[in-house]
Amino acid sequence: MKNLARALSFLTIIPLPFVSFEQGGKDLADSASAFPLAGAVIGLIQALLAVLLLFILPPAPVAVLILAAGFLVTRGLHADGLADTADGLIGVMDREKSFKAMADSAIGVMGAVVLLLVYLFKFTLLSSAGKLFLPLAVFFMPLAGRWAIVLAGSLSKPALEQGLGDLFLRSLGPAQLLKASLGALLLLSLIFFSVPPLAVPVTAGLAVALLTALLLARYATRRLGGLTGDILGAVSELGELGFLTAFYLVYSHSPFAAALKMVVNSFVSYF
């Protein structure tokens, strides 16, 4: 529970005044073992909000509001990392200039365009598959993104010997990845046992999210010699996008959508 509280304190604006990081980067790295579960908490908040809003609004404006809520709850932490990463890895090719571009507090053209396109793609997918799809997608998306952070970070080294990202990456390793994965798999197993039709689309989405994380981490390591905190933020955002894309494609296949509707309708009628 301590690691989950620390993960929520770091990843969200949820007020947890009793949480502290006495050992700095080590405590933060240890909290990574609860990142997927913290993502599930963020997802639960988003899903409940989506369900309530869908009673009074169609999917398109609800998708906008959910994306805005997710941005606010996380302080735009990962969106900022995505923009900086785009400026550093796409906007310039020289290693030192990449670090300079990523450290610049002003967003560049490349960062702005990539951020806009990623959020536009998320919005389009969230608003395209009906009312049942939206709360399901926004529940699992943050879990996928935070799991992707742990995977990429635990298998990579820091690109710079300074900052919080360096401390986090140096203390992150297989132990945290194993704990994070076991926690995520346990939660997913309970969900799949309760709603079996979710197993295939969610698993497909998670597989693409984690693969996206590995590909971005490998590219960044080849370019910069390792990862930074900004790149981990980009890993989360692109991991969410990868999950959402695969989840949408598999979910949209009629047998899964029809089966899910039957399960949900049966659940609602029971109460």
The rounded average pLDDT for each run of 10 residues, N- to C-terminus, in the chain (271 residues) is 87 82 75 94 95 93 96 92 92 83 85 95 90 92 97 90 78 92 96 90 96 95 91 96 95 71 57 39
Locate 130 and state its tokens.
């009906």
**Rounded to an integer, what distance in angstroms lies between the CA atom of residue 35 and that of residue 6?**
9
Cβ-in-10-Å burial (0-12, 13-18, 19+) of 263 comes to: middle
- 197 close to 263: Cβ distance less than 8 angstroms: yes
Q: Can you give the pLDDT at residue 108?
A: 87
The CA-to-CA distance between both ends of the chain, in Å, stands at 32
Q: Can you give the pLDDT at residue 50?
A: 94
- 34 close to 149: Cβ distance less than 8 angstroms: no
Q: Tell me which amino acid residue 24 is.
A: G
Provide φ and ψ at 227, rounded to 5°: -110, 165
- 130 close to 137: Cβ distance less than 8 angstroms: no
Cβ-in-10-Å burial (0-12, 13-18, 19+) of 132 comes to: middle
- 236 close to 149: Cβ distance less than 8 angstroms: yes
What pTM does this model have?
0.92
Q: Tell me which amino acid residue 205 is.
A: G
Which among 75, 39, 85 has a CA at the least distance from the CA of 210? 39
**Rounded to an integer, what distance in angstroms lies between the CA atom of residue 213 and that of residue 234?**
9
Q: Give CA angle at 215 (204, 154), nearest 5°.
A: 90
Q: Can you give the pLDDT at residue 123?
A: 96
